[in-house]
Amino acid sequence: MTVEVTRLASGLTVATESMPHLETATLGVWVGAGSRSEQAAEHGISHLLEHMAFKGTTTRSARRIAEEIEAVGGEINAATSVENTCYYARILADDLALSADILADILTRSVFDPEELERESHVVLQEIGAADDAPEDLVFDLLQERAFPDQPIGRPILGTPETVAAFRREHLTDYLDRHYLTSAAVVTAAGRVDHAQVVALVEDRFAEMPTGAAPAEDTATWVGGEVREVRDLSEAQVTLGFEGRPYASPDHHAAQILATVLGGGMSSRLFQEIREKKGLCYSVSAFHWGYRETGLFGIHAATGEDDLDRLMVGLGEEIVRVIDDVDEAEVRRAKAQLRAGLLMSLESPVSRASQIARQMLIWGRPLETREILEKVEAVDRPQLLRLAGEIFLGSTPTLAYVGPVGGAVGADAFAERLTRRA
């Protein structure tokens, strides 16, 4: 499979991958603007805009948008992340033109009716309330916020009740005009698609998309520290974070492998030691999120109040162990997990369209699968040991707690444990 790329005269990029053995296709528009693109008074507007895009255009009502795509058995959706927002449709391959027409319509001709905005703002307020009622979700927002305090990258994607309730139509149109530009967007398609056909559709349907340069974003600065929200719950939710590596860093794939060794599955150290041997929690995992100029290496677990101190001791012990040594067999197993995940994703048009879009937005080109696999394979044990020391001892840890956590260890004390034992 080969990715074909065309850059239109308007500045909009079109990238496709043909999967001719399929009967379906995914077409999407990825915009390089997410929650970190927002000014302080715009907190949550990226996510609200994603909702409002489906609430009516100059040619279609909200109901008609839904009915047209579902009349052909397709589905349309959107998602907002820290650094981008995507709008995509999954359809039968013969309905590609319809999906292009609807996506272009919602992104270039949305009306943002004030009554619809008031209703949808209320829906988002319910979503914010639901997230606050879910401690397993809230603890991740608190982790990000404490790691990057008072910065756009650290703000929760959903916004706050105050900011969301204050948005008016002009706020949405102003944000759209500044960020939803041809230079900051990529249209991708994967499945049974023909590149020339997709290019022609995009050139025609997205002719109204504005051009220009998107505003520069603030550079993120890792701070770290601790935050705890004491609640009367049966479980204590814990996230522990350290500064990770950017997407383009030579250590990005090594950070992914390190996270897999430490907490990436049932064979990982954290699962085997913390859950299986010590029985301190039901689930425990490690993860690595890359951003443009920084990253977040994290651990998540949940346990009862009586086991919280033992859990934190155990996490510290496993971090020290991975700083001291990584077994070759663990490295091979982690690489196999990453390879399998990548190769399996090649079979999904949705995954491929998303991967290609992210690559285009980050590197300006699609990455060959072989290239990614070679980078994963090139990671060796010395690199992982060096990186483990740099990540776990080189940045201020971030601790976020939700639940019966009043007496939980603080970030400074936890950092001292790592330094003393290492």
Cite the active site residues. Answer: 50
Tokens 């949808």: give the residue.
120
- The neighbouring-strand residues paired with 241 are 298, 398
Rounded CA-CA distance 285/118 in Å is 39
Tally of CB atoms within 10 A around 360: 23
Identity (one letter) of the amino acid at 359?
Answer: Q
331 alpha carbon, distance to own chain's centre? 25
Rounded CA-CA distance 146/398 in Å is 7
Q: Which of 228, 355, 248, 364 is nearest to 295 (CA)?
A: 248
Q: Which of 158, 166, 186 is nearest to 80 (CA)?
A: 158
Rounded CA-CA distance 256/277 in Å is 25
Rounded CA-CA distance 110/116 in Å is 11
Tokens 């005269």: give the residue.
9
Question: Which H helix or E strand runs over 318?
Answer: helix 308-324
- Residue 24, phi then psi, degrees to nearest 5: -120, 170
Identity (one letter) of the amino acid at 205?
Answer: R
Sheet containing 225-230, strands listed edge to edge, beginning at the edge strand earlier in sequence: 225-230, 398-403, 236-243, 295-303, 284-290
Cα pseudo-dihedral 87, 185, 144, 137, rounded to 10? 10
Tally of helices (H runs) and strands (E runs) in the chain: 16, 11
Here the tokens at position 186 are 């990529």
Rounded CA-CA distance 11/187 in Å is 11
Identity (one letter) of the amino acid at 29?
Answer: V
Sheet containing 24-31, strands listed edge to edge, beginning at the edge strand earlier in sequence: 3-7, 13-18, 185-191, 24-31, 85-92, 75-80
